[in-house]
Amino acid sequence: MAPTTQRRDITRDRIVKAAADLLRDQGPAAVTTRRVAHEAGLQPPALYRLFQDKDELLNAAAEHVFAEHVASKQTTAPSDDPVEDLRAGWNTQISFGLANPYVYGLLLDPVRARDAPTQLKGVRILAERVHRIAAAGRLRVSEERAVNLIRSAGVGTIHTLLTQLPEQSDPHLSDAAFDAITRAILTDEPAVPAQDPAAVVAAFRTLLPELPTLSKAEAALLDEWLQR
């Protein structure tokens, strides 16, 4: 890496980390040019050379905080029980949202959510956990539907808990929400065709990449039929 590029990256990292700390502790209003430059040990013009405006800096700060969260999830080795792994991931996500309300508020912005690479990585981690459940014959809906339902329930749970007054907060709401969503998407036991054909279909879809006799077009067509 060229020295100039390296110095630029180091400076950017210092700015983003300083902005992330301010955002995490005090909210978006605290992320001003003067405050961030002071915390990073730089002069304010350094920020203008690297970020077009405050929104771009806020996006980078929120991405930095969430990236640390996602990285910690990736280091967790899967257990033998994919449903318990899903529960663990749910609890981690709820805890992150409650501990980082300012960051989570920014991450809920639809435009930011669609474009943020770390958000997409987080969804992929969730999709991998759902895929393991489908492969075990425990999923009664499609993997896509399950991922979207879990994400929707998680966002709603965090938003509700963050907006409740302390004396009104329900400490069991997160567990109740997870139990409700699992009743909607999971079977009690691995599927038997006569009892839960939808779960068998969901499990069979996970095997498509392992069927070498099918061309890509044939596998895609079969997957479309199975989704129907």
Quick: pLDDT tens for 14-35: 999 999 999 999 999 999 989 9
The answer to whether 36 touches 47, Cβ cutoff 8 Å, is yes
Residue 109 confidence (pLDDT): 80
| Average pLDDT over the chain, rounded to an integer | 87
pTM of the model as a whole: 0.79
As a whole number, mean pLDDT of residues 137-146 equals 92
Residue 192, pLDDT score? 53
Q: Residue 166: CA atoms inside 13 Å, Cβ hemisphere, count?
A: 0
Q: Is 190 left (phi over 0), alpha (psi -120 to 50) or beta?
A: beta
pLDDT digits (tens, 9 = 90+) for 156-212: 999 999 999 888 889 999 999 999 999 999 988 775 555 567 777 777 788 778 777
d(CA 83, CA 136) in angstroms, rounded, equals 10
Burial 168-193 (b: 16+ CB within 10 A, else e): eeeeeebeebbeebbeebbbeeebee
* Among candidate residues 86, 90, 92, the one with its CA nearest the CA of residue 129: 86
Give 92's strand partners.
none
pLDDT for position 169: 87
Alpha-carbon distance of 171 to 47, in angstroms, equals: 42
**CA distance readout (Å), 217 to 136, 221, 225:** 26, 6, 12
Q: Does 112 score more than 80 pLDDT?
A: no
| Partners of residue 139 on adjacent β-strands | 186
Please give the Cα distance from 31 to 16 (Å, whole number): 10
DSSP conformational letter for 24: H
Summarised one tens digit per residue, pLDDT across range 76-101 is 788 899 999 999 999 999 999 999 99
- Amino acid identity, position 66: F
Any idea which residue has 């405006």 for tokens?
53
Distance of CA 112 to the CA centre of its chain: 13
User: With the C-alpha atoms ordered 34, 35, 38, 41, is the resulting torsion angle positive or negative?
Assistant: negative
